[in-house]
Amino acid sequence: MGRRRAATEYGEAFDEPALATTGGATGEERLQHLAFPLLAHIPHTAASTLKVMDFVRAVVFDPEFVWSPQVSSAAVEEVVSVLRSDQLSVTSLAKLLHLPVVAEQRLLRGAVACLGPGLESNPALRELLAGVLDGLNKRAAA
């Protein structure tokens, strides 16, 4: 299987600054004080964890905000399609994140990029995120 990649190795592939650096000692201290850190087997940084938490807060408190600024479900549909693909890889995630419709949805794009290391290696996480996004899409359409 090979060694597990560090979160920072995904920063360039996903063009995501939150994955580009660990934040040094300050980042490590932040990780120690997070109320809800990502699971240990998901490569992450303090900054990437905070981006995921911003997305979770938006989903819980204002799901419509996830679609800002375009108020369109097209980005969510693209993400769900890739997450449920049998061919998910770093390359397919990177291509997804560079699609204009996804890039415009900053919260969604940031969360998918920052969860990317876990999405690549964990089918259960992919299905969980796809299910949450699919449910939000159905709720918004109702």
Under 8 Å CB-to-CB from 111, ≥6 apart: which residues?
A: 51, 52, 54, 55, 56
Please, are residues 125 and 30 in contact by the beta-carbon 8 Å criterion? no
Does the pTM exceed 0.85? no
Give the pLDDT score at 4: 42
**Comparing 73 with 28, which gets the higher pLDDT?**
73
**For residue 39, pLDDT beyond 50:** yes
User: What distance in Å separates the CA atoms of residue 132 and residue 9, rounded to the nearest whole number?
Assistant: 27
pLDDT one-digit tens code per residue, 57-101:
888 887 776 665 566 788 899 999 999 999 899 899 999 999 999
Q: Give percent above pLDDT 70 in the chain.
A: 67
Strands (E), 82-136: none
